[in-house]
Amino acid sequence: MDQLSQALVSGILLGGFYAVMVLGFSVIWGVMGVINLAHGEFLMIGAYMAWGLFRLFGMDPFASLVLILPLMFLVGYLLQIVLINRIVERPHLMTLLVTFGVSIALANLFKLQFTSDPRNVAVAYNGSVQLAGVTFPIVKTIIFGAAMLIMAGLHLFLQRTRLGKSIRAAAQNKTAARIVGVDINRVYAITAGICIALTAAAGAMLSPTQAIFPFMGPPFTLKAVTITALGGLGRIPGALMGGMVLGVTEIFVSTYVPGIGTNLGVATSFVLLVLILVVRPQGLMGGLRPIDAEAE
């Protein structure tokens, strides 16, 4: 019983992180139909930024979000204008190749600069608290709380604000968004900025819990694909559900399957992805199709 509730709590905490980790990937895909294979690298960059700020100024990784978010917004915004807006109308293969190229370039640039030595952010509050016989690691609990706040904020932004509505409009029908006067290129750039910033924030929050190295990104990109297949494109409740399913499944598999260990527990995600694609190629919630398949 104790083991079960511990596994549930650990799974939910991990799921919360996955949910916020996937947002940037899922919203970029949903809004502009681009599958960002460099997703994990932006997470890696966020983690390195948190590490750098921690090492140089002793800045707390959660406090460093104040700097990382605006900076990475700018990076995403410029990347979209300089690169992705030029190819966004091209076939998927093109955007896959370009984002794959970005991913390789970023990982190797970081390797050149920082070597592949693993880096750590050792925060003082790296312990845990016991509550009703269940262990809550402090950092992971804070990540979970921050993840919920970020998701609620993004949800309100997309639903209530004029800019958020223009992003949803562009996602649902690009032609229609244009004819009501939405500047698509600008909306795409803002969307990319928000998404890259959120992804880097996820990396920064993750930094106290795992080793930081240049090639840490790809597993996160692959998990993002799984979660998106589970929860659907560009939908925040879907990201939350997909993240939870993956988090809880991973923890349960590593807790209950003998001899599998944490590392093989990660493989769960891909078994899950294959299973979903075999049973329902359109994704669990029909979400792997673009939100609006334009007839043009």
Partner 1 sequence: MSTPLLTVEDVYAGYQDFDILKGVSLVVHPGEIVCVIGPNGAGKSTVFKAIYGFVSVRLGTVYFDGQEITNARPQDVLSAGISIVPQLRSVFPQMTVMENLEMGMYLEDDQARTRQRIQYIFELFPRLAERRSQTAGTMSGGEQRMLEIGRALMLEPKIVMMDEPSAGLSPLITRMIFENIRRLNNEIGLTVLMIEQNARQGLEASHRGYVLELGRNAYEGEAQALLDNRDVRRAFLGGS
Q: What is the dihedral of CA 262, 244, 196, 53, to 10 degrees?
A: -50
CA distance 111 to 212: 11
Does residue 26 belong to the site contacting partner 1 (CB under 8 A)?
no
Nearer to partner 1 by Cβ, of 44 and 158: the residue is 158
Cβ 12 to partner 1, closest distance in Å? Answer: 28
Cβ 234 to partner 1, closest distance in Å? Answer: 10
Cβ 175 to partner 1, closest distance in Å? Answer: 6
Binding residue (CB under 8 A) for partner 1 from 165, 218, 219, 285: 165
Cβ 213 to partner 1, closest distance in Å? Answer: 40
Q: Which residues of 285-296 are buried (b: 16+ CB within 10 A; e: fewer)?
A: bebbebbbeeee
CA distance 101 to 41: 11
Binding residue (CB under 8 A) for partner 1 from 2, 89, 117, 294: 294
* CA distance readout (Å), 294 to 85, 86, 115, 171, 182: 18, 19, 45, 10, 17
* Residues 224/39, Cβ–Cβ less than 8 Å: yes
Instruction: Centre a 10 Å sphere on the Cβ of residue 125 and count the other Cβ atoms it contains.
Output: 11
Binding mask 38-67 for partner 1 (x = CB under 8 A): ------------------------------
Does residue 282 belong to the site contacting partner 1 (CB under 8 A)?
no
Binding residue (CB under 8 A) for partner 1 from 169, 189, 194, 272: 169
Binding mask 174-213 for partner 1 (x = CB under 8 A): -xxxxxxxxx------------------------------
Provide the token pair at 138: 């402090």
Cβ 86 to partner 1, closest distance in Å? Answer: 17
Residues in the chain: 296
**Across 53-153, where does the E strand assignment appear?**
128-131, 134-137
Does residue 89 belong to the site contacting partner 1 (CB under 8 A)?
no
Q: Which helix (H) or strand (E) holds 101?
A: helix 92-114
Does residue 160 belong to the site contacting partner 1 (CB under 8 A)?
no
Nearer to partner 1 by Cβ, of 140 and 174: the residue is 174
CA distance 206 to 18: 10
Does residue 172 belong to the site contacting partner 1 (CB under 8 A)?
yes
Cβ 26 to partner 1, closest distance in Å? Answer: 15
Nearer to partner 1 by Cβ, of 208 and 287: the residue is 287
SS3 10: helix
Residues in touch with partner 1 (CB under 8 A): 162, 165-166, 168-169, 172-173, 175-183, 291-292, 294-296
